Homo-oligomer: A and B are copies of this chain.
Amino acid sequence: MTLHITNEVNATLNSYIEGGNYNAVMVLVDENTRQLVLPLLPCLNNAHIIEIAHGDRNKNLDTLVLVWRDMEDCGATRKSLLVNLGGGMVTDLGGFAAATFKRGIDFINVPTTLLGAVDAAIGGKTGINFNGLKNEIGAFAPATAVIVSTCFFPTLPEQEFKSGFAEILKHTMLYSHVKFALIQDFDFKNIDYEFLLELLKDSLLAKQHFVEQDPIEQGIRKALNFGHTVGHAFESKALSDGKPVPHGYAVAWGLVVESVLSHIMLQFPRTDLYALARFVRENYGAFYITCDHYDQLLDFMRHDKKSSNGEINCTLLKECGNPTINNTINEDDLKAALDIYRDLMGI
Contact = CB atoms under 8 A, between A and B. Distances in A.
Interface of A: 23, 61, 65, 68-69, 72, 77-79, 99-104, 125-127, 130-131, 133, 135-141, 216, 305, 307-309
A346 B237 CA distance: 70
A238 B133 CA distance: 41
Contacts of A133: 72
Contacts of A23: 308-309
Nearest to A132: B72
A138 B141 CA distance: 12
A126 to B, nearest CB: 8
A23 B61 CA distance: 27
A118 to B, nearest CB: 19
A69 B103 CA distance: 22
Nearest to A73: B131
A104 B126 CA distance: 11
A184 B308 CA distance: 53
A133 B125 CA distance: 27
Contacts of A136: 68, 72, 101-102
Given A61-B65, A72-B131, A308-B23, A137 B100 contact: yes
A235 to B, nearest CB: 17
Contacts of A127: 100, 103
Contacts of A77: 305, 307-309
B138 A100 contact: yes
Contact of A216 (B104, B140, B216): B104
Contacts of A65: 61
A245 B100 CA distance: 27
Nearest to A65: B61
Nearest to A140: B103
Contacts of A216: 104
Contacts of A68: 130-131, 136-137
Report the 6 A-B pairs with minimum CB-CB distance, sorted nearest first. Answer: A79-B308, A103-B138, A77-B308, A102-B305, A23-B309, A72-B131
B78 A103 contact: no
Contacts of A309: 23, 77, 79
17 contacts: A61-B65, A69-B131, A72-B133, A72-B136, A77-B305, A77-B309, A79-B308, A100-B100, A100-B139, A101-B136, A102-B137, A103-B135, A103-B138, A103-B139, A103-B140, A104-B139, A139-B139
A78 B136 CA distance: 11
A101 B137 contact: yes
Nearest to A101: B137
A38 to B, nearest CB: 26
Contacts of A78: 305, 308
A77 B72 CA distance: 32
A186 to B, nearest CB: 32
Nearest to A218: B78
A142 to B, nearest CB: 12
A126 B308 CA distance: 26
Tell which of A104, A135, A137 has the most Cβ of chain B within 10 Å. A137
A140 B139 CA distance: 10
Contacts of A135: 103
Nearest to A22: B308
A129 to B, nearest CB: 12
